[in-house]
Amino acid sequence: MRGRTASIIITAVVTIAACGEADDTTSAPVASALVASTPVASTSDASTPVASTPVATTAAATRAPEPALLFADTFDDDRNGWGEIDDGEFGTIDIVDGDQRWIDATGRVLLWGPAALIEPLEQGDLDLADVTIRAHVTLVSGTGVIGVACRVVPDTDAELQWYDFVVRDGYAAIRRSDDQSHIEVLAEQDEAAVPFGAPVEIEATCRDDDQGGAHLTLALDGTTLLEVTDDSPIENGWAAPVAWSFPVHSPIEAHWHEFSVFSA
């Protein structure tokens, strides 16, 4: 690893499908290892819209406010503290020519966040509970899934847990996951278009609702694919790109062109 980073890479060997196949979700861990991390705080159904009556007003008054931009990176350099990995066993992460490249990543799950988000959140200076995460990414190769994660926090039966918003060609899912491959699929479908070599835009929103649940949405290239509410929400945590290999240790390559976080 080179450079200072608050990123997490997890490379546990677990016989579990990355995409929530029922036959594998009860498989037991074989071995695990946590590689390359800077301190984390802990070291050790979709709602039905309610119809409303329009109120006569001006267009300016009814226009929704623009969400605040909390973080953006186009990967011109590593000013946000992602760090790099050059590891023959687990692959390479680097920033080259405006891309963050994950090459031959063979860990079970790769969750990789920047110090510029993680450190202020852990210090109590940043709230990322209600956010929209937008990533422009190209899946170059591999049969796993790629996406984004929100509310990454310490867990009781794993080091970290989070909400996954993941896609591959012909599959999309919103999941509650952790670094020990405890995966609860909250919503999924089989019509996502993620062709190899073509950039796509993945957008996920995590937002608490008035009933105390977490309302979660996943969109691909501007089209909403999934919506769901988790009645036992994960609390405020950091955001990051994520990838799961499938079958376990099968190489995956993804090039991230932009990663942004907005208020929601």
Q: pLDDT for 119-134, tens place per residue? A: 999 999 999 999 999 9
pLDDT tier, 65 (very low <50, low <70, confident <90, very high otherwise): confident
Task: Confirm if 263 and 67 have CB atoms less than 8 A apart.
Answer: yes
Q: pTM for the whole thing?
A: 0.78
User: Which residue has tokens 């649940």?
Assistant: 213
69 pLDDT more than 80: yes
Averaged pLDDT for residues 55-65: 52
Q: pLDDT for 229-247, tens place per residue? A: 999 999 999 999 999 999 9
Query: To the nearest whole percent, how much of the chain has pLDDT over 70?
Result: 76
* Contact partners, residue 158, CB within 8 Å, separation at least 6: 178, 179, 180, 182
Which of 26-35, 154-163, 170-179, 184-193 is predicted with the least confidence, judged by mean pLDDT? 26-35
Q: pLDDT for 189-222, tens place per residue? A: 999 999 999 999 999 999 999 999 999 999 999 9
> How many Cα atoms within 13 Å fall on the side-chain side of residue 200?
23
Q: Which domains does the chain have, with CATH numbers?
A: 8-39+69-263 (2.60.120.560)
138 pLDDT more than 90: yes
Averaged pLDDT for residues 162-167: 98
Q: pLDDT for 74-128, tens place per residue? A: 999 999 999 999 877 789 999 999 999 999 999 899 999 999 999 999 999 999 9
* Contact partners, residue 19, CB within 8 Å, separation at least 6: 144, 145, 166, 168, 171, 173, 244, 246
> Own/partner pairs for 62-67, CB < 8 Å, 24+ apart?
67/132, 67/262, 67/263, 67/264
15 pLDDT more than 70: no
Which of 22-26, 153-157, 195-199 is predicted with the least confidence, judged by mean pLDDT? 22-26
54 pLDDT more than 70: no
- Is the four-CA dihedral 33, 79, 140, 177 of positive or negative sign? positive
Residue 147's identity, in one-letter code, is: G
